[in-house]
Amino acid sequence: MIQTLFSKRALPRLAALLAAAGVLVAAGCGGGGEVNTTPPAAVETTPNTLSLTFLGRYAAPTTGVGGAEIPAWDATTRRLFVVNGAAGSVDVLSLSNPAAPQKVGEIAAATLGGPVNSVSAFGGIVALAVEAPVKTDNGTVQLFNAANLQRIGNPIPVGALPDMLTFSPDGKTILVANEGEPNDAYTIDPEGSISIIDVSNPFTPTVRTAGFTAFNARAAELRTAGVRIFGPNASVAQDLEPEYITVSADGRTAWVTLQENNALALVDIPSATVGQVVPLGYKNHALSGNGIDASDRDSRINIQPWPVLGMYQPDAIASFNVNGETFLITANEGDARAYTAFNEEARVSSLTLAPALLNNALCGGPCNTADRLGRLQVTNTLGRASATSPYDTLYAFGSRSFSVWSATGTQVYDSGDELERRTAALFPANFNASNDNNTLDDRSDNKGPEPEGVIVARFGTKNYAFIGLERIGGVMVYDLSNPRAPVFVTYINTRDLAQAVTSPASGDRGPEGLTIIPASSSPTGTPLLVVANETSGTTAVFRINFL
């Protein structure tokens, strides 16, 4: 049971808050008690638009974080495959009744030889990205028959720590992001790479590798351009860590996020080469409309400009086409390197700030106090002229936004501070709570709502982006008809903040992966959105209503 978020007494105050944030309350959002299918949601009712209706969820019985991470739908068998990181396996779900998804099988951990990091499905074939028992060793991609769950061929060797994989649009190629993270002592640092696997005949696949060794001699050039290459004693190829992949409609180009490096790789698939490594730049949080709530110790919502630069550091990426032009959209989550031997995370209060930064007028007092910027997590690898100089610039992880980019990596739009402002209006008592607590302001000092997942789907004549917020939870939807000015459509969050996070009644927390089930293969005949929620271990199903 999901409690309605707002009581009738609270609705007038909420409406004022939402109006200030530019959000309209859908008719019927008020009302007390409990309901079965109406989750807490804000809906902007515009003509020819889209809404989401919660249908049901599957809760993995496995204890521990990771019970549901990445979902993939196979249209041929009409089965949903969900990475269960807590069990190290893949759960196979039937959505014949989306209100009550049922587990009908699994690909057991014992058959795989290592943890599963990602899953993708096409034409009755399920592909798994499997990490080696020692994560710095090379991993594998393993193929299974979606109907009988039998292995197809032998495990396919790929690079170290295969973190994400996807089929090309025609299903003939699998692309794998081999992140190549170092060990905790930073004594072993594998090279990052992209594996390109021809599965035209899945029993005899062939593998090519698009690597970064050609860029090793260009380290200084890349750093000057803004690519973060900063691991101890790392070459360019070792330092670049592919995170997520999107593929062009013609299957010839892949765009790969390099999250820790704040960059994007452009891959030519036919030649299996990385053509470019593009820096994504920095977001100026000192500008109006780009503000953040920077403190978890001021016990209030305080989204404002601060003298901070945000590193976009996207996780998920998707591509879409408008009027013949290809665009990219990224969820700018942010991520730090935090190892025993090397940790770049630092609170501003621990750094020596240059006088001009310490006394910046935007802070309204000393910038390094706990109620201003003192608690903010920033990198200690950027922002000063030398190892002994004070910091004159602060660089925070992620940008608390989503961005739209051209096919060559030029930014054409950023959502500014809209994600924080909308969640602040909806959850004033639990703003920036994390996925494992209900505490006001808990994540304000570190990446805020953390947009992590993004997918794009076309309904009617419009492309829509679905963006998962890892911390506060829920999915934001934007109309991408004009990629240079996306329009907010709706936000749905099936987390119940009135319940303790230890309770199954707390709903869905920590959205990790999202997928769309098209109407053509949907069990309901209508398109569905599936969200795998890592922290709660739940897989939630929503009907997509296109008006």
Annotate 386-398 with DSSP letters as a single string: STTSPB---EEES
pLDDT of 533 reads 97
Question: Would you say residue 348 lies in a domain?
Answer: no
CATH number, domain at 43?
A: 2.130.10.10
- Neighbour order of strands in the sheet with 377-379: 282-284, 309-311, 395-397, 377-379, 345-347
Question: Would you say residue 353 lies in a domain?
Answer: no
Amino acid identity of residue 468, one-letter, is: G
Question: Would you say residue 36 lies in a domain?
Answer: yes
Contact 450, 334 (CB under 8 A): yes
pLDDT of 66 reads 87
pLDDT of 174 reads 98
Question: Would you say residue 472 lies in a domain?
Answer: yes
Mean pLDDT by 10 residues, the chain (547 residues): 30 36 31 33 54 95 85 98 95 97 95 96 98 97 98 97 98 98 98 98 97 98 98 98 98 98 98 98 98 96 98 98 97 98 98 97 97 98 96 98 98 98 95 96 98 96 97 97 97 95 94 97 96 97 92
Question: Would you say residue 463 lies in a domain?
Answer: yes
- CB within 8 Å of 68: residues ≥ 6 apart: 58, 60, 82, 83, 84, 91, 512, 532, 533, 534, 536, 537, 538, 539
Question: Would you say residue 493 lies in a domain?
Answer: yes
pLDDT of 63 reads 67
Cα–Cα distance measured from residue 357 to residue 360, given in angstroms and rounded to the nearest whole number: 5
The range of the structural domain enclosing residue 85 comes to: 2-335+398-546
Q: Give the global pTM.
A: 0.91
Cα–Cα distance measured from residue 188 to residue 199, given in angstroms and rounded to the nearest whole number: 31
- CB within 8 Å of 98: residues ≥ 6 apart: 55, 56, 523, 524, 528, 541, 543
pLDDT of 65 reads 82
Question: Would you say residue 352 lies in a domain?
Answer: no
Question: Would you say residue 202 lies in a domain?
Answer: yes
Give the strand pairing for 411-414 and 451-459. unpaired
Closest of 145, 156, 199, 203 to residue 178, by C-alpha: 156
pLDDT of 426 reads 93
Q: What's the domain count of the chain?
A: 1
